[in-house]
């Protein structure tokens, strides 16, 4: 089953950048084997933004290249999404974010900013190829914080800088940050210069140790790459369990809940994937067809036989298709990077247990009310309930009808209530009269495998689970 549009979309405004990162994933900037000239167009960017909100996109991240190189145009595009009540964020290197720009972003209502930082001082400068970059990026982060904008720094861990990760975490904690992400480097299939950045076993050991150290500092940290459980066991066969706490299970939801549009209006399933016609298309020419093509990126038939026999597939999903391109000379079908052996049932259970939601407080009288920011999107098969504040969503059957905010809900099905509470869509209220709206027992939460056939097989239907995507969104069922 497919969705009508992404829930969360990345919109690349340009492929131009004022950094020169040797590990850049942008296909326009890193490909050397295959060169496809792509041109940004400000009118097309505006048209794409209008089309996206008309199709139901509920959250957007403006990115590039470096989006602030687009100047006033960035604010023009931002305004279109914000007028449609989209959750808005920006992915930037932060170097061009002055106090004035940060204040203006705050005035527009920007929800968050993902800022790239890959080391301290000269180490960061060496990574991004600009000798003034570190000070400018750090200033940009501080300007955003001073303006009251939520900042999530992102560190791309490679063989050349993974030893810097702990220090970066400590620095960010010292200036008031509460969270960060650390993304293991993913090489592009057609960029041989990426080989020098690929992490090996010893680098992954440093990576996981750094995650532990940062966690102990009280800084929330997570990976943004779906690292399959088999990778952990392959690299650390005798002590893999010690890293369970910092290996939050992540799955790839690209092409289902998430999509990306390139500067020339081409739909791609994944932000790190190249331009592949069979998994996308020109958005303005045919949005529906392009998005349906992108959905095929998530099909189970792309997985290798080993994944289908793995007891952890239900919460793993088969790893990263973009890393599969690197292993299979441009094909999204087959094994992924670092892939290990299928997990046994007792091994998989430890990862599956980490996806279970255990602390849910139900109302004593079954009365609830909607959280105001919740979005509901109608699909052909039912609805998507989406909380943009925590990027959480669930799938609910077509029997469900959202009623005006002033009427409380009376839940007949506790499982439905628990999932909506987990998403943050409702909250319990102290009320007990006849003016509540009865939510019928016919209303059901749809399992993850309704939308993602490779996920949630044979999981306990009486429990509540969450699966978190590499792009941040969380699916509850």
Give the E-state strand segments of 185-265 in sequence order.
220-222, 250-251, 258-261
225-234, 306-315, 367-376, range with the lowest pLDDT? 225-234
Per DSSP, what are the bridge partners of residue 254? 258
Burial classification of residue 43, based on how many CB atoms lie within 10 Å of its CB (0-12 exposed, 13-18 middle, 19 or more buried): exposed
Segment of 35-49, 169-183, 186-200, 307-321 carrying the highest mean pLDDT: 169-183
Which span out of 42-46, 218-222, 408-412, 468-472 was modeled with the highest average pLDDT?
42-46
CB contact at 8 A, 27 and 269:
no
- Give the pLDDT band of residue 403 (cuts 50, 70, 90): low
| Of residues 86, 268, 303, 82, the one with CA closest to residue 188 | 268
Q: What average pLDDT score do residues 46-52 get? A: 96
CA distance 211 to 181: 10
- For residues 288 and 276, what is the distance between their CA atoms, to the nearest angstrom? 16
For position 285, what pLDDT does the model report? 92
User: What is d(CA 445, CA 144) in angstroms, rounded to the nearest whole number?
Assistant: 38
Using CA atoms, how far apart are residues 141 and 302, in angstroms rounded to an integer?
40
pLDDT band at 154 (very low <50, low <70, confident <90, very high): very high
* Cβ 191 vs Cβ 22: under 8 Å: no
Structure confidence at residue 301 (pLDDT) = 92
pLDDT for 405: 61
Residue 86 CB partners (closer than 8 Å, separation 6+): 53, 57, 58, 59, 60, 388
Most confident stretch, 212-226, 373-387, 435-449: 373-387
Predicted TM-score (pTM) of this structure = 0.92
Secondary structure of the chain: what % helix, strand, coil (to 5)?
35, 20, 45
pLDDT at res. 99: 98
Give every CB contact of residue 337 below 8 A, 6+ residues apart in sequence. 186, 187, 320, 323, 324, 326, 327
Quick one: average pLDDT of 49-64?
Answer: 96
Cα separation, 18 vs 20, in Å, equals 7
Residue 38's pLDDT band, with cuts at 50, 70 and 90, is: low
Q: What pLDDT score does 25 carry?
A: 86
Answer yes or no: is pLDDT of 35 > 60.
Answer: no
Q: Please name the residues in contact with 438: beta carbons below 8 A apart, sequence gap of 6 or more.
A: 410, 412
Residue 433's pLDDT is: 66
The ranges assigned to domains in the chain are 8-301, 357-476
User: Beta strand pairing status for 392-397 and 474-476?
Assistant: parallel
User: Quick one: pLDDT band at residue 407, thresholds 50, 70, 90?
Assistant: confident
3-class state of residue 436 by DSSP: coil
pLDDT greater than 70 at residue 36: no
Secondary-structure class of domain 8-301 per CATH: alpha beta
Give the mean pLDDT of the chain.
91
pLDDT digits (tens, 9 = 90+) for 453-469: 889 888 888 899 999 88
In degrees and rounded to multiples of 5, residue 281 shows phi and psi of 155, 175
Helix (H) or strand (E) holding 88: strand 87-92
Q: In the structure encoding, which two tokens stand for residue 186, read together?
A: 């993913």
Length of the chain: 477
The answer to whether 25 and 186 are in contact (CB under 8 A) is yes
Contact call for residues 94 and 43 (beta carbons, < 8 A): no
Q: Which two tokens stand for residue 312?
A: 């952890």
HEC string for 6-63: CCEEEEECCCCCCCCCCCCCCHHHHCCCCCCCCCCCHHHHHHHHHHHHHHCCCEEEEE
Question: pLDDT by residue (tens digit) across 75-112?
Answer: 999 999 999 999 999 999 999 999 999 999 999 999 99
Write the DSSP symbol of residue 197: G
Confidence of residue 329 (pLDDT cuts 50, 70, 90): confident
Average pLDDT over residues 46-60: 96
pLDDT digits (tens, 9 = 90+) for 215-235: 999 999 887 777 789 988 999
Amino acid 225: pLDDT? 75
With CA atoms as reference, report the closest residue to 404 among 353, 448, 369, 450: 369
Task: For residue 181, give the 3-state DSSP assignment.
Answer: strand
Q: 36 or 440, which is more confident?
A: 440
Strands 8-12 and 258-261, how do they pair?
parallel
Average pLDDT of span 339-351: 93
State yes or no: pLDDT of 338 exceeds 80: yes
pLDDT at residue 250, as a whole number: 83
DSSP letter (8 states) at residue 341: P
At 325 the three-state DSSP class reads helix
Residue 354 has pLDDT above 70, yes or no: yes
Structure-token pair, residue 134? 């570190």
* Contact indicator for 15, 65 with CB cutoff of 8 Å: yes
Q: Average pLDDT of 9-22?
A: 94
Higher-confidence residue: 476 or 365?
A: 476
Q: Taking a C-beta distance cutoff of 8 angstroms, is the pair 30, 194 a contact?
A: yes
Q: Is the pLDDT of residue 283 over 90?
A: yes
Q: Is residue 234 packed enough to be buried (19+ CB in 10 Å), middle (13-18) or exposed (0-12)?
A: middle
């Amino acid at each position: 089953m497919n969705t009508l549009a992404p829930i969360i979309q990345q919109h690349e405004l340009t492929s131009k950048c004022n950094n020169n990162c040797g590990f850049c994933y942008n296909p326009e900037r890193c490909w050397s084997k295959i060169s496809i000239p792509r041109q940004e167009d400000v009118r097309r960017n505006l048209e794409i933004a209008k089309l996206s909100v008309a199709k139901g996109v509920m959250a957007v991240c403006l990115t590039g290249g470096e989006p602030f190189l687009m100047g006033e145009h960035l604010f023009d595009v931002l305004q279109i999404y914000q007028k449609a009540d989209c959750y808005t964020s920006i992915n930037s290197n932060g170097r061009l974010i002055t106090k004035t720009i940060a204040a203006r972003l705050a005035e527009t209502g920007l929800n968050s900013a993902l800022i790239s930082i890959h080391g301290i001082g000269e180490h960061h400068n060496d990574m991004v190829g600009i000798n003034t970059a570190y000070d400018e990026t750090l200033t940009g982060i501080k300007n955003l914080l001073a303006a009251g904008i939520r900042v999530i720094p992102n560190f791309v861990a490679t063989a050349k800088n993974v030893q810097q990760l702990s220090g970066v975490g400590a620095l960010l904690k010292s200036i008031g940050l509460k969270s960060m992400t650390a993304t293991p480097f993913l090489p592009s299939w057609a960029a041989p210069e990426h080989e020098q950045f690929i992490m090996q076993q010893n680098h992954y050991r440093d990576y996981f140790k750094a995650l532990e150290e940062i966690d102990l500092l009280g800084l929330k940290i997570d990976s943004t790459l779906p690292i399959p459980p088999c990778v952990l066991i392959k690299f650390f066969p005798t002590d893999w369990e010690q890293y369970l706490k910092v290996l939050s299970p992540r799955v790839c939801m690209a092409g289902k809940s998430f999509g990306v549009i390139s500067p020339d209006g081409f739909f791609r399933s994944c932000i790190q994937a190249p331009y592949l016609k069979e998994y996308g298309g020109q958005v303005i020419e045919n949005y529906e067809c392009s998005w349906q093509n992108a959905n095929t990126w998530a099909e189970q038939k792309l997985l290798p036989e080993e994944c289908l026999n793995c007891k952890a597939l239900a919460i793993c999903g088969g790893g990263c298709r973009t890393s599969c391109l690197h292993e299979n000379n441009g094909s999204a079908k087959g094994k992924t990077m670092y892939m290990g052996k299928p997990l046994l049932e007792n091994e998989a259970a430890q990862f599956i247990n980490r996806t279970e939601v255990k602390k849910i407080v139900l109302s004593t009288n079954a009365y609830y009310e909607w959280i105001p920011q919740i979005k509901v999107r109608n699909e052909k098969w039912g609805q998507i309930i989406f909380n943009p504040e925590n990027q959480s969503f669930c799938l609910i059957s077509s029997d469900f009808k959202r009623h005006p905010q002033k009427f409380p809900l009376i839940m007949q099905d506790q499982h439905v209530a628990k999932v909506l509470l987990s998403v943050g869509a409702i909250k319990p209220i102290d009320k007990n009269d006849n003016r509540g709206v009865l939510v019928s027992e016919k209303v059901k939460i749809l399992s993850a495998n309704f939308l993602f056939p490779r996920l949630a097989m044979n999981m306990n239907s009486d429990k509540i689970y969450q699966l978190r995507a590499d792009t941040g969104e969380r699916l509850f069922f």
